[in-house]
Amino acid sequence: MRIAVIDLGTNTVLLTLAEIQKNRAIKSLLEAKETPRLGENVDKTKKISSASIRRVLKTIQDFQEKALKLKAEKIILMGTAALRGAKNTSYFKKLIQNKTGLKLEVISGKKEAELAFCGAIADFKHGSKKFTSLDIGGGSTEVIVGTQKKILKLKSLNLGSLRFTERFLKNEKDGYFKTLEFINQKFSELKKNFRLKNSLLIGSGGTITTLGALSLNLKKYERDKIHGLVLPIPKINYLLEKLSNMSLAQRRRFMKIDPQRADIIIAGTAILQQFMEQFGFTDIIISDKSLRWGVLEQIRAEL
């Protein structure tokens, strides 16, 4: 059974086309990514702009064509934080269905967290011990605690790399410090109910995978080198300081692997760094799998 899952994120749109084989193994046939910035200015205007809609629609149509060429039997389209917060989401959903025939499901923060966790930990065996999964997106961050068998606690927070860049870092001189203050406040509140000691930290999302690639000085994205990579806090601190001391043009040149993320990487890295420091994690294991793979894992479990 061939299934395509398209994840409409606040910053990126991601496609995974996979085959669930007779032995129930999941084999990836195609991975694709575009950065149409669906959530551009949504934090401020509460609306998806016409320009964003045009960019995202084209991306969906391109991904749909790729999936059909590879004989996908089912195409699943999911939306997350930006679409949860926009006033014109209903219009957007109708437009997508009219233009592509695909039904867009806008999932809750809770559902996003569950799927992100299921996908992120799929390849990591840790017995009955606890995992903490941190999924940093453009519009939200999901924190999930659980084991291979069940989720114990989860929280979806409105902390995102694009959201914070637009809110704090574009125009304000002291925007970085305001970003840290806001992040620290949210994580301080989270600490009251989340006990993460003795758990294995798994990280997913574009910020974290990009940091992994930068730490290895990769010229192109190599999933096999990034998936499972351990990133220690000193390396994260080093990269954050280095990126913060660069101009946007310098960051784009440095981030050859994903130059379109250069303007939002500082906000995303700050979220990661502050989470690890507040909760006492010394390193994080990078997972290249997240929501899309969570969907595939759930479908496999139902077969």
CB 4 within 8 A of CB 72: yes
Mean pLDDT, rounded, for 150-176: 91
Mean pLDDT, rounded, for 102-130: 93
CB-based contacts of 139: which residues, under 8 Å, 6+ apart?
A: 9, 10, 11, 39, 42, 43, 80, 81, 82, 85, 158, 160, 162, 163
Mean pLDDT, rounded, for 225-242: 98
CB 258 within 8 A of CB 151: no
CB 263 within 8 A of CB 248: yes
Token output for 281: 């994690």
pLDDT value, residue 7: 99
CB-based contacts of 103: which residues, under 8 Å, 6+ apart?
A: 77, 93, 97
pLDDT band at 129 (very low <50, low <70, confident <90, very high): confident
Share of the chain above pLDDT 90, in %: 93
Share of the chain above pLDDT 70, in %: 99
Burial 50-69 (b: 16+ CB within 10 A, else e): eebbebbbebbeebbeebee
How, if at all, do strands 74-79 and 141-146 pair? unpaired
Say yes or no to pLDDT of 128 above 70. no
Report the greatest alpha carbon distance in the chain: 57
pLDDT value, residue 171: 72
Containing 94, the helix (H) or strand (E) segment is helix 89-100
How far is residue 131's CA from residue 275's CA, in Å, rounded to a whole number?
15
CA geometry: angle at 233 spanning 231 and 237, to 5°?
Answer: 110
Write out pLDDT tens, residues 245-284: 999 999 999 999 999 999 999 999 999 999 999 999 999 9
Q: How many CA atoms lie within 13 A of 242 on its CB side?
A: 13
Write out pLDDT tens, residues 6-51: 999 999 999 999 999 999 999 999 999 999 999 999 999 999 999 9
Neighbours of 45 (CB within 10 A): 12
How far is residue 163's CA from residue 243's CA, in Å, rounded to a whole number?
18
Q: How many CA atoms lie within 13 A of 145 on its CB side?
A: 14
What is the value of pTM for the model shown? 0.95
pLDDT value, residue 173: 66
Write out pLDDT tens, residues 102-115: 999 999 999 999 99
How far is residue 25's CA from residue 300's CA, in Å, rounded to a whole number?
8
Domains of the chain are 2-107 (3.30.420.40), 110-286 (3.30.420.150)
